[in-house]
Amino acid sequence: MKASFEKIKQLREELNTYNYEYYVLDNPTISDFDFDLKLKELQALEAQYPEFFDANSPSQRVGGMVTKNFATLTHKSRMYSLDNSYSLEDLRAWEERIQKVLGVSEVEYACELKYDGASINLTYENGSLITAVTRGDGFKGDDVTANIKTIKSIPLRLRNPILKNFQIRGEIILPLEGFEQMNKVRIENGEEPYKNPRNTASGSLKLQDSAEVASRPLDCLLYHLVDDKSPFKSHAEALEAARKMGFKVPSTLKVVKTINEVFDFIQHWSTKRHQLPYETDGVVVKVNSLQHQAELGYTAKAPRWAIAYKFKAERVPTLLEEISYQVGRTGAITPVANLTPIQLAGTIVKRASLHNADQIERLDIRVGDTVFVEKGGDIIPKVIGVDLSKRPANSQPTVYATHCPECGTALIRKEGEAQHYCPNEYGCLPQITGKIQHFIGRKAMDIDGLGAETVVLLYKEGLIKNYADLYHLTTKQLLPLERIADKSAENIIKGIEASKKMPFEKVLFALGIRFVGETVAKKLARHFKCIDRLFNASFEELIAVDEIGERIANSVIDFAQDEKHRAIIDDLKSQGLQFELSEEALAGRSDKLTGLTFVVSGVFETLSREELKKSIEDNGAKVASSISKKTNYIIAGANMGPSKKTKADDLGIPIISEYDYLELLQSKNKSTEI
């Protein structure tokens, strides 16, 4: 028995090494025939001795597990999007913002190619792969671990576990050669070829049969190590450690010291990228120092320490056949170009955004024109110009819509705004269903089992008129509906019931108040602590809240004064939704530091930077990213930038330690001086 286990262990180690040499190093030391013989020997031994099963054995890479429903998992650390840039001027402006926050004149950058695939987050514990989760909405994604294990360039066990417990992120890609071979087989079989490598790679992750995933030549390129207690000083150093642990980290990464060098890297790859074995649509530039990354932090959507430079988008001419108009949940009207279908950046494009009336007028876009279309950031198609040489002789200028295409209500356009709006909030189908769809979304109430199509179905069947009506639904009402079986109905009701536990800031965001996004909702919830205080607040009280301007204040007041909105909220209250901060959320909060502004800089011992910032905000103060005359204190840790200290001294701003801050916090008098 022991000898058999030792043999199994030996074969696993050998096969893992051969996989690494072939798929990561591109340097095979064994023939495919000999590899297959060893794999079959391992599979036979594992079948004979099932007590030695290991979920991360090389034998598991062949797949065979069938997953009908992919579980949703919450990311331990959010997967943010990246801000985009398209010129050297954009990059210089980004650098200036970074230098201002850091208080330094020189910053080191890591330049990487932006791979065009599907993002994945891998979690390792004790050196073994535990979960693989798709990006999803950045907060939650789908558990595709069984499928990911079939990708041979992803280590199931680390070769050299420099770290044992961490997350690492990368892109699942389909190399061009493999994609072409897959399409060759499909065409020979009389099947429709796949459209592009990116979509095919992404779709592969959600295939139910992992054996089918294993048959596809997928690859994984890693680009970001996530570890709260990272022993590394730089992003490049962390990726080098990842490479030593057995991950496939592209050798194209380059560390540079100036934005001009960054641009040289971009210029080089803007042409050389076509020689790569996989698709790339740009370059990602990151501040290399991990300490600087921590200082820069994040906006509501993206890290401040990274930016994507997108290569010039492909531009294709086509015929504009018709202009139609879409209605959003806020009533905003978006004109859409209906086009003669074209192939653009790997997909078939039939529609493109025209933005608003001003854009149509500025470009003089008309039906019958030959227009130029490109994908903004290689994602959203948009019309960017007109070929006037091909304009028909009988062409007529576009007259913008005057009435809502859905309900016929006359459109309005407020002074200073680019878009037209339909004011029929309670009688316009897209607005009604759009608000409910926003309410149930992942970033809002996160109601499992409900989707956009189901919302429309429920509305058309007369079961709901607004999002409060969701909480009156019963399983009995749902069962007669098309495509809703017993289990689906049960899941919808369970999801609705579970949403009652969502915290106040999520509920506030879910209400769909115009201009109140996730970040604003959090600020308002923390400041006013309950819906009644918020809705009874004056204009002056609202704009006194940090980063709340006149537009948001007026929008909140308008929403609060609408009797129908009040009635809906009263209904939601009666159903048990959270309209005030919970005791747990209020725990540790105070107004002790209200009116004070702190800047946090350096590396700390007792608290992490994020814990320190949270403590400041929980006690009523503001955390600023850069030093100004409004700064009251700078909390300085190790390695604080010298230019920040100079600026603080020039402005006479006190520099305190984290221990000084904790003493200040314990004081009952917020004006206590240190």
Residue 110 has φ and ψ, to the nearest 5°, of -110, 125
Cβ atoms within 10 Å, residue 26: 8
Known catalytic membership, residue 114: yes
| Nearest Cα to Cα of residue 169 among 109, 111, 247 | 247
Residue written as tokens 């991360």?
A: 56
Burial of 458 (0-12, 13-18, 19+ CB in 10 A): buried
In eight-state DSSP terms, residue 137 is T
**Which pair of structure tokens corresponds to residue 170?**
């990368």
**Distance separating alpha carbons of residues 465 and 479, to the nearest angstrom:** 19
DSSP β-bridge partners for residue 372: 317, 385
| Nearest Cα to Cα of residue 183 among 171, 172, 199 | 199
**Distance separating alpha carbons of residues 562 and 559, to the nearest angstrom:** 5
| Nearest Cα to Cα of residue 637 among 230, 303, 291 | 291
**Distance separating alpha carbons of residues 573 and 567, to the nearest angstrom:** 10
**Distance separating alpha carbons of residues 264 and 57, to the nearest angstrom:** 44
Burial of 238 (0-12, 13-18, 19+ CB in 10 A): buried
Annotated catalytic residue within 7, 114, 272, 645: 114
**Which pair of structure tokens corresponds to residue 458?**
């429920």
Q: At a CB cut-off of 8 Å and minimum separation 6, what does 556 contact? A: 513, 516, 524, 534, 535, 537, 542
Q: How many helices (H) and strands (E) does the chain have?
A: 25, 20
Q: What is the CA radius of gyration of the chain?
A: 28
Burial of 36 (0-12, 13-18, 19+ CB in 10 A): exposed
Judged by DSSP in three states, 279 sits in coil
**Distance separating alpha carbons of residues 68 and 33, to the nearest angstrom:** 34
In eight-state DSSP terms, residue 376 is E
> Can you give the length of the chain in residues?
674
Give catalytic residues, as residue numbers.
114
